[in-house]
Chain A
Amino acid sequence: MMELAIPLLAATVQSGTPILYATLGEIITEKSGVLNLGVEGIMIVGALTGFVVAKISGNPALAFFAAGLAGLAASSIHGFVCLIFQGNQVVSGLALTILGTGFANYLGTSMVGQSAPGFSPMALPYLSQIPFFGPVFFQQDPLVYVTYLLPPLIWLYFFSTSHGLNLRAVGENPAAAKAAGLSVILYRWTGILAGGFLMGLGGAYLSLAYTHLWTNSMTAGRGWIAVALVIFAFWRPGRAVFGAYLFGGIMSLQLRLQASGIPLPSSLLLMLPYLLTIAVLVFSSWKKGRSEAPAALGVNMKPTD
């Protein structure tokens, strides 16, 4: 049993990582009061950018960073449309997904079937020797190790720095924040851009580490799962980790169930991640009486308020 559990859990960590990046990004954005449904589009732009830069420069770390910048740039569209032009946040995000996916596939069509230099698993000394936890957590590629650092850093940001506290205030009650002298629009820009950066990184994980390939529509719906996971995580970074790994686990599990010869029709097994998403949403809403969401989420602050 142990021999099967360890590879499954190691695969879970890998498969949950891109989702985790995106979820953490969306948490930051939503905490500032902005709903960004363009995650899927932003992720895939990040995936393509990372791939192309890695191919051209031969430097995966540079490519990873570039992907983050691309995600930042893509999310800025959402910022312009919503923060400046008062566009409806829901529809703007959807439009960004459509645009981002189309854009990445358009430019990426000629890159399909090629490979680029990327990251490979790098076992950490000492830590990877720990029984059970070692092989699962510490024999991964460097980008996974980055995600181990992110949740505590984000938590610190939100709860211990004044900038983070202000950002949360902007998301809860923008009118009061403005009255207290905070620039709502500036904090929301921060939320959007920082979130977009992380989402781009999440996409790049797919084309730089998870595989070293690119194909059209590579993100395959992971961005949407990230949006759902934000709700599941009650907008908390720590819980986001749990959610992302849970999803990664389900995605890996259904393949492994097939591999071990379980005769369930694969269509049904493939439904598991989506059914689970709905289940976690129901569970999250049911568990907490009141909503944990930032109170002003999704509502634009009018420029003449």
Chain B
Amino acid sequence: MLRLTITKRQEPLGWSSCLVVFGAVALSLFFSALLLGLRGTPPLEGLIVLFQGAFGSRWAIEDCLIKTIPIFLCSLGVAIAFRLQIWNIGAEGQFCLGAVGATWVALSFPSLPFWLMLPLMIAMATFAGGMWGLIPAVLRQKMRTNEIIVSLMMNYIAILILDYLVYGVWKDPTSFGFPMTQEFSDGAIVGKIGSTSVNWGLFHCIALAVIFWVFLRFTKLGYELKASGDSVRAARYAGIPYDRLVFLVMVLSGALAGWAGFLEASATINRLQPSIMVGYGYTAIVVAWLASLNPLYIGIASFLLAGLRVGVENLQLDLQVPAAFGGIMEGLVLLTVLAGGFFIHYRFELRGAKR
């Protein structure tokens, strides 16, 4: 009689873990295609439209890059937190507060020159986002509350704060009462690179990625973070007490999401309005899990998920597929990667039973 047993690998799969990720993504594409067929859309055509819409032209790639910027920054922050098994689900709210903080600067001091204005906006955005990330951290360490719920609730609260401001004191007098702030002055807008539609935020991302990589590679704390693996209950990392480390990580996480919020408000929309919130904070969770703590992988995964969003619009336009399809793919990718992770540490074996 044959039995299916599970044995632990002597050594976890190394480079072939990439294969696992690719395999998982392929599997989720397959299931997604099935779902398309379920609704009457020809699956292969659907996938082609998806890819073409995402990567099939110069404009599409530019559109992807524009979306990659906020996803990347949020993911970077979330990845740091996840590494320490601090489940920061609050990137969405931290992004929101970052946008709010940057807007405050833009609206309060509209005539500042850009070289003063932009750094000030960044400072305010990262401060606001950082503080929003600090609150769940403090509650976690001091009151032992679950940071998942707290950070999630704060997402909802952050959006309501944004609503309150744009419907109230920050409402543009010329917008016919619609909830949006005035358009930002030129000094508050991060410009586009050359003749492309991509803004300089891309360089912010690259710069931050490099800084991050240097941090991971060359500092004691960075090394310990990367090497920590599953064991996180160490009392100290690089001599920093655990409590303070949690605060630091969450502030950093929130600050990065806040930076993303600043860029969206400044470069992409040029004002603050409720539609700035499109769920980048939640996509960041998917990216952070896929890419672990590697800035290059985070960049690639962010680009791919940005591509998913852009491609899904094309699916809507050409094949009238509902917008929710993107969420299905994101969820499937994450689940298949999670399941696939099994094969890095274990394997199935068929054994003949000895009777």
Contact = CB atoms under 8 A, between A and B. Distances in A.
| A–B touching in complex (CB under 8 Å) | yes
Contacts of B156: 221, 271, 274
Contacts of B327: 98-99, 101-103, 105-106
Interface in A66-94: 77, 80-81, 84-88, 90-92, 94
B255 to A, nearest CB: 21
Interface residues of B, number: 50
B237 to A, nearest CB: 21
Nearest to A293: B146
Interface stretch (A132-140, A157-165, A262-270): A262-270
Interface in A256-299: 265, 267-268, 270-271, 274-275, 277-278, 281-282, 284-286, 291
A80 B338 CA distance: 10
B8 A304 contact: yes
Interface centre among B146, B285, B331, B346 (most CB of A within 10 A): B331
Majority secondary structure of chain A interface residues (helix, strand, loop or mixed): helix
A102 to B, nearest CB: 3
A270 B167 CA distance: 14
Interface in B325-342: 325-332, 334-335, 338-342
Contacts of A86: 341-342, 345-346
A241 interface: no
Contact of B324 (A95, A109, A284, A285): A109
Interface in B178-228: none
A110 B325 CA distance: 13
A85 B157 contact: no
A198 B282 CA distance: 26
Nearest to A270: B160
Contacts of A110: 322
A91 B282 CA distance: 12
A102 B328 contact: yes
Interface stretch (A10-18, A57-65, A174-182, A223-231): A223-231
A278 B153 contact: yes
Interface in A123-147: none
A241 to B, nearest CB: 19
Given A98-B327, A98-B334, A271 B160 contact: yes
B35 interface: yes
Interface of B: 6-8, 35, 39, 87, 89, 139, 143-146, 148-150, 152-154, 156-157, 160-161, 163-164, 167-168, 282, 285-286, 289, 322-332, 334-335, 338-342, 345-346
Interface of A: 37, 41, 77, 80-81, 84-88, 90-92, 94-107, 109-110, 216, 221, 224, 227-228, 231, 265, 267-268, 270-271, 274-275, 277-278, 281-282, 284-286, 291, 302-304
8 contacts: A102-B324, A103-B328, A106-B324, A267-B161, A271-B157, A278-B149, A282-B143, A304-B6
Given A102-B326, A216-B324, 19 more contacts: A77-B335, A85-B340, A86-B341, A90-B87, A90-B148, A95-B286, A96-B331, A98-B330, A99-B330, A101-B324, A102-B331, A103-B327, A105-B324, A228-B149, A265-B164, A271-B160, A274-B157, A277-B153, A278-B149
